[in-house]
């Protein structure tokens, strides 16, 4: 059970009401946003930050989801993993690829994506080495590397908020599992 109540749209002032709803599933309240909605200004800032990561990281949708799923796996972020399993398939990841990310099996990914996975795992552990950075710099420009680092770190931070607030998976949803089968 969450440590704070999940606020509804009706409980928020007009400018904040849509911020508790999924941008990918219109009309669906998202528990993490409903929990953070107890402080509407923080919710607005969080949504702006996450939106910037989605739109301005320099990554394709597929690459962004590789970073988020890898970070969720490394950080044992059950809520975020669950949320992004379906987002990842919509972004072009196959089900076996998502399961491989959960197992940290990089063998069937191309070199650029293997570098993203290795770097994202290192960011999640705060263990980025010069060698990892150089491997990324061979494949991505500085702007994109910053985007990858910010996305991975942003989702680690989001997981910490989720944990602190005791946010659970939405009612009616069942955890997709670390090795999802569909």
Question: Do 133 and 47 reside in the same domain of the chain?
Answer: no
**Which long-range contacts does 46-51 make (Cβ < 8 Å, 24+ apart)?**
46/158, 46/161, 47/19, 49/154, 50/154, 50/158
pLDDT in tens, 38-58: 999 999 999 999 999 999 999
pTM, entire model: 0.94
Query: In the listed set 18, 38, 54, which residue is the last one of a domain according to the structure?
Result: 54
- Find residue 29's DSSP bridge partners: 21
Residue 16 placed within a domain:
yes
Question: Do 37 and 64 reside in the same domain of the chain?
Answer: no
User: What confidence score (pLDDT) does residue 28 get?
Assistant: 87
Question: Do 130 and 46 reside in the same domain of the chain?
Answer: no
Model confidence at 180, pLDDT cuts 50, 70, 90, reads confident
Question: Do 15 and 93 reside in the same domain of the chain?
Answer: no
Question: Do 50 and 65 reside in the same domain of the chain?
Answer: no
The pLDDT of residue 182 is above 80: no
Question: Do 71 and 95 reside in the same domain of the chain?
Answer: yes
């Amino acid at each position: 059970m969450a440590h704070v109540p999940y606020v509804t749209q009706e409980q928020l002032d007009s400018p904040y009401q849509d911020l508790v709803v999924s941008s990918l599933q219109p009309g669906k309240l998202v528990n993490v946003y409903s929990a953070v909605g107890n402080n509407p200004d923080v919710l607005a800032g969080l949504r702006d930050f996450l939106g910037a990561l989605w739109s301005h990281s320099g990554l394709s949708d597929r690459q962004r989801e590789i970073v988020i799923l890898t970070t969720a796996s490394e950080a044992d972020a059950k809520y975020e993993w669950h949320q992004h399993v379906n987002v990842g398939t919509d972004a072009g990841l196959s089900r076996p690829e998502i399961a491989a990310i959960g197992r940290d099996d990089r063998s069937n990914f191309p070199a650029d994506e293997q570098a993203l996975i290795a770097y994202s795992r290192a960011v999640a552990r705060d263990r980025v080495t010069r060698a990892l950075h150089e491997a990324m710099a061979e494949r991505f420009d500085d702007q994109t590397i910053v985007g990858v680092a910010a996305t991975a770190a942003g989702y680690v931070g989001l997981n910490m908020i989720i944990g602190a607030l005791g946010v659970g998976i939405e009612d009616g949803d069942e955890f997709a599992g670390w090795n999802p089968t569909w």
